[in-house]
Amino acid sequence: MSKKIQSALISVFYKDGLDKIVELLHKNDVRIYSTGGTQTFIEELGIPVTAVEDLTSYPSIFGGRVKTLHPKVFGGILHRRDNDDDVKTAAELEIPAIDLVIVDLYPFEETVASGASEDDIIEKIDIGGIALIRGAAKNFNDVLIVSSRTQYDDVFGILSAKNCSTDLEDRKRFAKLAFGTSSHYDSAIHAYFAGIDDGGNFRAANQTPLRYGENPHQAATFYGKLDDMFTQLHGKELSYNNLMDVDACVRLIDEFEKLTYVIVKHNNACGVATAETSKEAYCNALACDPVSAFGGVIITNRNVDLATAEELHKLFFEILIAPSIDADALEILKKKKDRRLLLRKDVKTSKKQFRTLLNGVLEQDKDLSTEKTADFKIVTDRIPTDSENLALEFALKICKHLKSNNVVLAKDGQLLASGVGQTSRVDALKQAIDKAKEFGFDLNGAVMASEAFFPFPDCVEIANLAGINAVVQPGGSIKDQMSIDYCNQHNMAMVMTGIRHFLH
């Protein structure tokens, strides 16, 4: 059922992009009610506006805490136009119908994130706005609710095309978005008072439909604010699988302080290297597995310069993520039209992880433990050298982010090979050794890292025969001593961390 908008209530915190909607409403003779800063904004556009205080005959009180909470406002929104008793009551009480509500909410999450005082945070708990959103959404049969500035372009397009009329389908769709906004907002407030990190509260707001999910027959949506984390400089939109790989990239690169390049394919690193220059780090990362790198996702924690861009451009890859890219480097990288180029912003991510399964949801803390040399417990007669300790630290950071069972082989700040996602740790090690040999790496003097313990000494035996000198693993097997004994007999160094890093 199409309904012509004759009156609108507008009260927003963010006013960017609002002007074109207000001007369109005015051109279509829509009466506008507003209050506070929004009223001033509309008046400065030279457009007539009725103050909510004039409608209610009641002032804004308590420092603006109570402005729109009045029967003439909520009655105008909630009364049913097809209900004779409602229409009669509205006429008797001189309650005008309100057909459009544009309202957003005080920036509660942003205020919390800023480190503001509790008094400031509490003042950013919206009361009237959330009530307006819920009221207008409930009466979607008669009222269109716009609950976020992210919807401005969408609603402007609808109102422009339909001469300020809306269909029931439009109103119901925006009502769904509004209840999502409400749910997200209340959950964020609950998380603050409960002292919990709710993972960015994926339950509601900022929904981005994706073309499809992991496979074309699966529907998918991203919940979150990607624009807060990345600026996309070039290329088409990110897909579900792209986002999975981007997440894997971000989690791994954040382990490193030195200049590092990471290449990820299907959520697993197939190239990692640290070096003095960007070009060297990238080339070393690529050398690990140039076959798997084809079509991969690349991330670095340093600026991308021209020399590195020239090397990058030789490879077909899906996405490059960096904190910055030089202008001449960007010009080269943009030559592939579909290549996504992302600048990463300094944004904190959730310390929680969620996974739906069976008839519920699993929640856990992220694995934020990173063991360094000071955490190593030396269990063999031979003590690792300084260079081996650095290599063990490097390898351990990588294996923490690979699918279990996994084994990582590394040397001199470079991933040589890895075996990932195997049901047997022996198979993972054999896979890693075979890949290292395939790409011409000499494993003599290399180190090995495992995300979980060795149940038998077979892994250290195989590693020794391949030329590996030092090993890091969490330990904890009832047969640890057998692996330690083998290492002692063959002059290998082994350290244990006591921390397992399963990843499934």
The residues annotated with a catalytic role in the active site are 138, 266
Do 377 and 496 touch, CB atoms closer than 8 A? yes
Q: Fill in the DSSP letter of residue 374.
A: G
Q: For residue 430, what are the CA distances in angstroms to 210, 427, 475, 485?
A: 38, 5, 20, 21
Helices (H), 195-239: 226-229
d(CA 78, CA 134): 10
Q: Map residue 319 onto helix, strand or coil.
A: strand
Q: Which residues contact 52 (CB under 8 A, 6 or more apart)?
A: 9, 11, 33, 34, 35, 39, 60, 67, 68, 70, 73
d(CA 266, CA 293): 10
d(CA 156, CA 133): 18
Helices (H), 400-443: 425-438
d(CA 5, CA 3): 6
Rg (CA), the chain: 29
Measure CA 170 to chain center.
29
Measure CA 399 to chain center.
22
Q: Count CB neighbours of 164 within 10 A.
A: 21
